[in-house]
Amino acid sequence: MRQDVQVVQTMVDTMVGIPQFSYPARPNGAPKPRGEFAHIRFLEEYQVGIPAQEIKSQTDDTTTFITRSAVRLRFRIGCVDTTGLPSTKIMNGWTSEEMKTLMIQSGYGFIRCTPLSNEDAKQEKEWEYRQGFSVDLYTTRTFEETVDNITSMVINGVYVDDSLEEYLLQFDINLN
């Protein structure tokens, strides 16, 4: 998701200490950045555990629910650098005090960062050093849903007694 990539951009730029160092991967029609940079691609999101639901508000006619769901997000960060310092900071900078503060403010938490093997060998035609990372983060998604309450019902049925005689039943509940 776009918002998630923007949060990771802020994290990477903070770790590396260079404003606008990172960019979303593969933006339509955007030119390739020059010099050192990192590109961030959102790969997947999946739910962890069972969502928690609570009633936010309720009237005679409707009920509004809030659903909170913990999710795990996976990103791919590709880093093009000449000194290796930005790559080292991205690999090892997730648990610094500055990052902990940023994570608390953003509502995202760090799970792990793993290097992708020999990223520059896949891009030999580019003649630039590349290092790739797989980064897992977690956050909580919050959804709001308003549903109509059941305010009346008509229940119909057939009761069959022991002598197989049938009785038609109808219950009217809260009909005006």
pLDDT digits (tens, 9 = 90+) for 134-160: 999 999 999 999 999 988 888 999 999
Q: Is the pTM of this model over 0.95?
A: no
DSSP SS3 for 128 = coil
Tell me what the mean pLDDT of segment 168-173 comes to.
Answer: 88
Alpha helices in the chain (DSSP H): 2-16, 85-92, 97-106, 119-122
Q: How far apart are CA 135 and CA 15, in angstroms?
A: 14
Q: How far apart are CA 131 and CA 85, in angstroms?
A: 11
pLDDT for 152:
86
Task: Report residue 175's pLDDT band, with 50, 70 and 90 as the boundaries.
Answer: low
Min mean pLDDT across 15-24, 34-43, 115-124, 131-140 is at 115-124
